[in-house]
Amino acid sequence: MIHMVLELKKFGKILNSRASGREAVLRARQIVNGEKDTSDDLILDFSEVGVVTPSFADEFISGLKKQYPHKKLNIRGAEGNKVLQDVLNLVEQKGVPS
């Protein structure tokens, strides 16, 4: 099976603000739909992303979950970036956080 991968570095190296997160969801939707993706998961690749704020992460990840409720979101590329992991954990702990 071919997995759909969203490379977050293509959205920016520093990802901040809810507005940017919402815009990123809209772009991601076009990318995913354009690929006619049929896989059950969606890989969010954070390689080479320096900083993600909780506002962006919340808006982006919860937006994707709402958009694709049947896909499993898998994170990769956050290894070695403790701050990024902490932010993603915050989002994960709250489910669809506020």
**Residues of this chain that bind other proteins (CB under 8 A):** 13-14, 16-20, 50-55, 58, 62, 81-84, 86-87, 90, 94, 96-98
> Judged by CB, which is closer to other proteins: 36, or 82?
82
Smallest distance from other proteins to CB 83, Å: 4
Alpha-carbon dihedral sign for residues 19, 24, 27, 28: negative
Smallest distance from other proteins to CB 57, Å: 10
